Amino acid sequence: MLKKSLQIFCIVIDKIIMWFGKVASYLMPLLAFIVVYEVIARYIFDAPTIWAYDLSLFLFGYIAALGGAYAQQKRSHINVDILYLSVSPKVKNIFNIISFSLGVFFLIIIFYMGVTKFNEALEYGYRRQSEWAPPMWHFWLMLCVASVLFSLQLIRDIITESYNLITGSPLVDEKEIKDEC
């Protein structure tokens, strides 16, 4: 019963992270279009926009932050391979549990700071200091969402690594997850 509940939790987290990762990836062509538009407007028509730079910064931040959990799901983050590849699978599980736990700790701090900045941005009407001066609250909200998503992915990974460490068998079929993604 517990195993089935943990499997369902992991699969639900995998699907949520996969969805957000794909949504973030769809922002990349939009970012490229905005940058190309600004270059053409600035250098060909000598009519730069006041909004393209700020919007491209926001979109890049969205892509990077929302893509972090997806990169974790795909195990695309940097690892210290010299040490990691030379240890047994059980020690790898322990390394992963420790590093994922530290990640959750730091993401809790980021979430707290994001909520604080979000509330300040709403209360004081913070705007980006540029000619366009867009509001900043949405950026802090996105940072909170991204930190929650990344934390959920790390918690999911802690559960699977712990299960594997204790039982010696995987909780979910990672190959099946990769095929779905």
The predicted-structure confidence for 94-150, as pLDDT tens digits, reads as follows 999 999 999 999 999 999 999 999 999 999 999 999 999 999 999 999 999 999 999
DSSP string, 68-126: HHHHHHTT-S---HHHHTTS-HHHHHHHHHHHHHHHHHHHHHHHHHHHHHHHHHHHHT-
| Residue 84 or 52, more confident | 52
What is the rounded distance in angstroms from the CA atom of residue 115 to the CA atom of residue 139? 11
Kindly tell me if the per-residue pLDDT of 178 is higher than 60.
Answer: no
Answer whether residue 153 shows pLDDT above 90.
Answer: yes
Does the pLDDT at position 181 exceed 70? no
Cα dist from 88 to 16, 84, 94, 165, whole Å: 31, 9, 10, 11
Given pLDDT bands bounded at 50, 70 and 90, which one contains residue 179? low
* CA dist., res. 61 & res. 82, Å (int): 31
Q: What is the pLDDT of residue 126?
A: 96
In contact, 176 and 36? CB cutoff 8 Å: no
Lowest mean pLDDT among 43-57, 67-81, 139-153: 67-81
C-alpha 49/C-alpha 47 separation (Å) is 7
CA dihedral of 30, 32, 37, 42, whole degrees rounded to 10:
140
Side chain identity, residue 166: I
- In this model, does residue 34 exceed pLDDT 70? yes
| Mean pLDDT of the 45-60 span | 96
pLDDT at 174 over 80: no
